[in-house]
């Protein structure tokens, strides 16, 4: 049986995550960057998505992906192609950084079905609420700080095989699979260039996951 778009995307995503000796972050300044290819968060995303389109016999779409150098325009383009976007936030009422952008974007998401100016089809939220009274903003179970844990949201995240992610209005972009964020750190090299973090522990706190058809 032939591989799907998602199969190819996962192969490329994990391949780059595990093997990137020839790459360096676009803002890394060390002398050991000589001879290495510069990369960053959106480059990682475009490499993976364009590869998957190429491998599934869609070279025109593979080429088009490289025209998008910023996260939000790329996300909107993918939605036009039939991808589905979901708003995400670990705590819609009491974000641990205290920034009211997160509650505001959630209200827009449920009221207007949009994340910024991108249409969304649903939300995946409150999978890691916290209690502001605990040190270090410790995630807790149950109802704390006006936010109740939604166990179904955690299950939804675990069941997503592949997605393109944006955070804070696409200030940052990443890839996502089975509950984990895969990303590039612009100022690093070697083992620290790529990172993998559970979304429930991710510091960006809100954004959108865009899933292929």
Kindly write down the DSSP assignment for every residue of 85-125, as one continuous string.
EEEEES-SS--TT--THHHHHHHHHHHHSEETTEE-SEEEE
CB 125 within 8 A of CB 102: no
Q: What is the pLDDT of residue 205?
A: 97
Strand partners, 139: 130
pLDDT at 139: 44
Pairing outcome for strands 143-144 and 147-148: antiparallel
> Is residue 141 very low, low, confident or very high in pLDDT (cuts 50, 70, 90)?
very low
Region of poorest pLDDT, from 49-53, 65-69, 147-151: 147-151
pLDDT of residue 131: 64
> Does residue 130 register a pLDDT over 60?
yes
Q: Determine the average pLDDT of the residues in 102-109.
A: 97
Full-model pTM: 0.92
104 pLDDT higher than 50 = yes
106 compared with 130, residue with greater pLDDT: 106
Task: Write down the pLDDT at residue 164.
Answer: 98
Residue range 161-180, pLDDT digits in tens:
999 999 999 999 999 999 99
- Kindly tell me if the per-residue pLDDT of 150 is higher than 60: yes
Residues 66, 71, 75, 77, CA torsion sign: negative
Confidence of residue 199 (pLDDT cuts 50, 70, 90): very high
Indicate if the pLDDT at residue 119 is higher than 90.
Answer: yes
What pLDDT is stored for residue 146 in this prediction?
72
């Amino acid at each position: 049986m032939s591989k799907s778009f998602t199969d190819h995307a996962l192969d490329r995503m994990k391949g780059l995550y595990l093997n990137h000796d020839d790459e360096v972050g676009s803002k890394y300044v060390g002398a050991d960057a000589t001879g290495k290819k510069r990369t960053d968060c959106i480059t990682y995303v475009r490499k993976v998505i364009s590869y998957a389109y190429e491998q599934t016999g869609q070279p025109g779409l593979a080429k088009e992906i490289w025209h998008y150098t910023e996260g939000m325009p790329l996300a909107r383009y993918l939605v036009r192609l039939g991808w589905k976007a979901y708003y995400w936030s670990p705590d819609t009422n009491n974000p641990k950084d205290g920034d009211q952008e997160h509650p505001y974007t959630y209200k827009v998401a449920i009221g207007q079905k949009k994340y910024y100016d991108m249409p969304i089809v649903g939300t995946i939220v409150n999978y890691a609420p916290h209690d502001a009274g605990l040190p270090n903003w410790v995630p807790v179970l149950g109802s704390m700080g006006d936010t109740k844990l939604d166990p179904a949201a955690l299950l939804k995240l675990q069941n997503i095989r592949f997605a393109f992610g944006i955070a804070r209005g696409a200030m940052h972009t990443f890839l996502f699979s089975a509950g984990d964020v895969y990303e590039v750190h612009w100022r690093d090299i070697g083992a620290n260039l790529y990172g993998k973090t559970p979304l429930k522990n991710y510091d960006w706190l809100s954004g959108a996951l865009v899933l292929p058809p």
